[in-house]
Homo-oligomer: A and B are copies of this chain.
């Protein structure tokens, strides 16, 4: 019923980066990836399923991650993703892009003299 509050779009542009970074710790399934990001960010970043799965499919289609069906800790069938070689390179690219953006925005925000 909430009319689609238009500003939960906090993640825009950073989601791929966050997923790739999370997979550095080893393979994980979607649910776990989202949970990890939410915990590590201390609840600041909450990834909706409608963002999560399209993102995973996107990254897989680009060859940055690869998937495999397995059984999760809790005994449920789950799709485990791992970082590929190109994925690792892409992570570096996105990390540096984020760094650039961060520095640039900070410069603009810097208080007046």
- What residues make up the interface of A, taking CB atoms closer than 8 Å to B? 9-10, 12-14, 17-18, 21-22, 24-25, 37, 40-42, 44-45, 95, 97-98, 100-105, 107-110, 112
Report Cα–Cα, A108/B17, bound state, in Å: 9
The 8 closest A-B pairs by CB, nearest first: A44-B104, A41-B104, A12-B13, A12-B12, A45-B104, A40-B108, A18-B108, A41-B107
| Contact yes or no, B21 A109, CB < 8 A | yes
| Contact yes or no, B18 A9, CB < 8 A | no
Report Cα–Cα, A44/B12, bound state, in Å: 19
| Contact yes or no, B109 A98, CB < 8 A | yes
Given contacts A10-B97, A97-B10, are A21 and B108 in contact (CB under 8 A)? Answer: yes
